[in-house]
Amino acid sequence: MRSLRHWTPRYVVNRLRVLAYQRLHPGEPWLTRDMVELLKTRLTGAGRGLEWGAGRSTLWLAARLGSLVSVEHDEAYCRQVQAALEKKGLRNVDLRFHPAEPDYVAVADKLPPARLDFVLVDGQARDLCALAALPRLKPGGLLVVDNSNLYLPCSSYAPHSRRPADGPASEAWGRFAATVKTWECIWTTNGVWDTALWVKPA
């Protein structure tokens, strides 16, 4: 059981701000607000995208990408997202249900190399998904990992963040960190969780 020591006055204020923002912006993905604002400027509407973890982000990304492959492990939730896409008339999403590894992660392996403009890792097996995404990104492509503070060492004040002494959360995260250490990285936090973005070098 996790400690409740993170329920400090600052954390409570940050959490209330996040909840208020989500209520006022129901169509936006559950990434940090700063990351959402950044992606609004980076996604032009014509790129190819891949997403692990369907949901609000699926509809939001579909409106900002030319095409999107979205992978979801929960069948009932997958049906809900599909219904929402149909209601919005969004036909550029290839929504795929894969309940478990290896098929869940292996979706990336079936895509052409160096063709994706954008990848969001926000579902299951995030370390393996992040690694699998790297060769699929084109130069200049964007890779976003949500809750990045839980997996990679950082200086974040969000709860349960990993410190440099902790190292990466898994061997796969270690390999990921070694691969992207020279990439441009934009790390954002709302004090509740972090979302990080890496840009593949040209």
- Residue 102 is assigned to a structural domain of this protein: yes
CB 62 within 8 A of CB 84: no
Structure confidence at residue 5 (pLDDT): 74
Q: Could you read off the pLDDT of 161-198 as tens digits, one per residue? A: 999 999 999 999 999 999 999 999 999 999 999 999 99
* Helix-, strand-, coil-residue percentages of the chain, each rounded to 5: 40, 20, 40
Q: Could you read off the pLDDT of 112-129 as tens digits, one per residue? A: 999 999 999 999 999 999
* Range list of H helices, 89-192: 103-106, 126-133, 171-180
Structure confidence at residue 19 (pLDDT): 96
- Residue 1 is assigned to a structural domain of this protein: no
Q: How many domains does the chain have?
A: 1
- The DSSP line for 57-81 is HHHHHHTTSSEEEEEES-HHHHHHH
- Residue 159 is assigned to a structural domain of this protein: yes
- Residue 26 is assigned to a structural domain of this protein: yes
Beta bridge partners of 94: 69
Domain of residue 172, CATH code: 3.40.50.150
Containing domain of residue 51, as a range? 9-199
Angle of helix 171-180 versus helix 126-133 axis, rounded to 10: 30
Please tell me the pTM assigned to this model.
Answer: 0.94
- Residue 34 is assigned to a structural domain of this protein: yes
- Residue 2 is assigned to a structural domain of this protein: no
- Residue 193 is assigned to a structural domain of this protein: yes
- Residue 156 is assigned to a structural domain of this protein: yes
